[in-house]
Amino acid sequence: MRVAVVGATGLVGSTMLRILEERNFPVTELIPVASKRSVGKKVSYEGKEWSVVTADTAIEMKPALAIFSAGGSISLELAPKFAEAGCRVVDNSSAWRMDPTKKLVVPEVNGHVLTEQDMIIPNPNCSTIQMVMALKPLHDKYKIKRVVVSTYQSVSGSGQKAVDEMMAQRNGSTEHSVYPHRIDMNVIPHIDVFQDNGYTKEEMKMIQETQKIMGDDSINVTATTVRVPVSGGHSESVNIEFHTDFDEGTVKQLLSDFPGIIVVDNPAMNGYPMPLDAAGKDEVFVGRIRRDNSQPNTLNCWIVSDNLRKGAATNAVQIAKVLHNNGWI
């Protein structure tokens, strides 16, 4: 199976290569794709060196699968070209997520919606993925009325340049170009561009994508997304109001039983999810599970995940695995 990774030299692209290898995805020929200035560079995969090529060359090689992590404008331009050549595309950008003709998929939550006709499959936003993983089993049991989420998102969500900039600031630099303000020793309540309604694009992604993935527009969501000076791993404080009352023990059991979730909830022993502990792992970690005493039928929890893995690369590879298991690639 020929597999193209578009954006193979980037932070998420390199993580995708690692996860394809870790999960023994049946790649017979890797086609790493990047910009023209990277053509000819070598990418290591399964002990071999593979040369970076342009997208045009990759299309001519007729891959069965292309996993994109190269930005929205590139995905809008190139994903249809790959699809027209008979190649399935899993796209990590925001380009296709809210397209009504495209499925937005987290395999554990709604992998069943995929069909043989789906040629371009968007990968959801990193902060949305980890949240809906926890919401799904609870919605099935108690039906969610409203979600209030505040995120604490690491700088790796902005790419390697952002990580480098934060570390340079930690070593004394006063320069900043990735964010409008210094990020080290700071917290910035601003991810992506502001919209006319006062929300940022990242916040609107979480609202709209959650409803689409969950298949329920009646779930009301409001979000505040925040960048914090952490190199990797996103955290979320989530307040969930249900239509019916719930049992805390049942909530913990539902989450524990859901594939891909690990409950870490032992306050007496300082046990709760943290980005450091989630680093390099594919699971979503949930803790600080407790009743909201200010109103009925409402739960508080804390959700943490490695944003480069389950929040991006792992989820994309899992989508590809669904396509392969169904015999579509």
Mean pLDDT by groups of 10 residues along the chain of 329 residues = 95 94 96 92 94 96 96 94 98 96 98 98 98 98 98 96 97 97 98 98 98 98 98 98 98 98 98 98 98 98 98 97 97
- Portions of the chain given CATH number 3.40.50.720: 2-124+312-325
Locate tokens 């069943």: which residue?
A: 112
Burial class of 138 by CB neighbour count within 10 A (0 to 12, 13 to 18, 19+)? buried
Question: Domain 2-124+312-325: which CATH class?
Answer: alpha beta
Task: Specify burial of residue 114 (Cβ count, 10 A radius: 0-12, 13-18, 19+).
Answer: middle
SS3 276: helix
DSSP helix/strand/coil, 15: helix
The catalytic site residues sit at 126, 234
Q: Are 219 and 128 spatial neighbours (Cβ–Cβ below 8 Å)?
A: no
Which residues make up the CATH 3.30.360.10 domain(s) of the chain? 127-307
Q: Residue 5 has which token pair?
A: 């990774």
Question: Do 208 and 279 meet the contact criterion of CB atoms below 8 Å apart?
Answer: no
Strands 65-68 and 88-91: what pairing? parallel
The answer to whether 312 touches 92, Cβ cutoff 8 Å, is yes
Could you tell me the pTM of the whole model? 0.96
Q: Which CATH number fits domain 127-307: 1.10.10.10, 4.10.93.10, 3.90.780.10, 3.30.360.10?
A: 3.30.360.10
Q: Looking at residue 139, what is its pLDDT?
A: 98
Centre a 10 Å sphere on the Cβ of residue 26 and count the other Cβ atoms it contains.
11
Name which of 134, 154, 137 is nearest 283 in CA terms. 134
Q: Which two tokens stand for residue 35?
A: 């910009």
CB 4 within 8 A of CB 12: no
Predicted pLDDT of residue 154: 98
